[in-house]
Amino acid sequence: MSYKIEPLPDSYAGLGEGPHWDVARQSLYYVDLEAGSLLRYDYGQNKVYKTKIEGETLAGFVLPVEGRPQEFAVGCGRRVVIVNWDGVSTSAKVVRTLFEVQPLMEKNRLNDAKVDPRGRFFGGTMRYIGDEFEFRHGELYRWEAGGQVSVIKGDVGISNGLAWDEKAKKFYYIDTTDYEVKSYDYDFETGVASNPQVVFNLRKNSPKDHLLPDGLTIDTEGNLYVATFNGATIYKINPNTGKILLEIKFPTKQITSAAFGGPNLDILYVTTAAKFDQPAPAGTTYKVTGLNATGYPGVNLKV
């Protein structure tokens, strides 16, 4: 298979994360996490718009709100806030807080989050100050409109990639500090995940060589695409066998997440980071074409 990797224009994010394809606007939304910024790549214009959230230093994810075109749920610290942004302006405002988690855990922050196919929020926390591999003080949460926040899982180091497969009735989840991808049986009517199983192990012979799984997406055939923060690679895997089907290689090391998008949902958009003095082109956002696969669009959050 011959795939092609190309950078998106002016797409830099120091810690790019959370790519979300919005069908209605034919746009890819993502964040520059430690800059408190949101970005929107407009497919039709082939242009990236960027905004800073007033008064915030962190933006862990960006999730469009159902029925409210200028509202987005964003993870700012340990709060999930609603931000108003027109997708063009260089400034955006927090209009209200949806909920807060771990209010006393000042060294934690929200990390990756997504919306399940029914419109529920799933996302988790990680240690932000200190060693997140030593202090497993993170949690994974579920929230739905009109309800309270539920803790799905404790003992989390770095809550990261999430994906769902309705055909297989599965939920997939990554805690980076476990060096693996887990599958859960998932009840789409109740939002309950159970029976965790390891489907992909990224440990190597020496701990210093372990690959760090980060973000995650899925195609319509049920294959997973696992970004590796220290591996310059996205691994396409079959979760039923654990077999690697394809290694997608990038010209930079810190691959953070991926999402399918484009008019036919057959372009894989990939975010990267430029942490710890990584040289250019670190922090560039890429598009991968020629994968002969299609994915699912991002789901809006019901509030």
The pair of three-digit structure tokens given for residue 171, joined into one six-digit string: 């939920």
Sign (positive/negative) of CA torsion 201, 77, 274, 136?
A: negative
C-alpha–C-alpha distance, residues 258 and 294, integer Å = 13
Residue 175 assigned as binding residue = no
Q: Give the active site residue among 32, 214, 219, 266.
A: 214
**Of 54, 95, 48, whose CA–CA distance to 73 is shortest?**
95
Would you state the torsion angle of the CA atoms of residues 117, 132, 225, 300, taken in this order, to the nearest 10 degrees? 20
The pair of three-digit structure tokens given for residue 27, joined into one six-digit string: 């746009």
Residue 118 assigned as binding residue = no
Please say if 116 is a catalytic residue: no
Query: For 179, what's the count of Cα atoms within 13 Å in the CB-facing half-sphere?
Result: 14
Residue 109 assigned as binding residue = yes
Residue 108 assigned as binding residue = no
The pair of three-digit structure tokens given for residue 210, joined into one six-digit string: 């372990």
Which residues neighbour 123 within 8 Å (Cβ) at sequence distance 6 or greater?
60, 61, 75, 80, 110, 111, 112, 113, 114, 140, 141, 159, 162
The pair of three-digit structure tokens given for residue 202, joined into one six-digit string: 């990224």
Query: For 149, what's the count of Cα atoms within 13 Å in the CB-facing half-sphere?
Result: 17
**Of 270, 277, 266, 238, whose CA–CA distance to 255 is shortest?**
270
Q: Is 177 helix (H, G, I), strand (E, B) or coil?
A: helix
User: What is the Cα 121 distance to its own chain's centre?
Assistant: 13
Residue 111 assigned as binding residue = yes
Helix locations, the chain, DSSP H: none
Annotated binding-site residues read: 17, 109, 111, 160, 214
Annotated binding-site residues for substrate read: 109, 111
Annotated binding-site residues for a divalent metal cation read: 17, 160, 214
Active site positions, annotated: 214
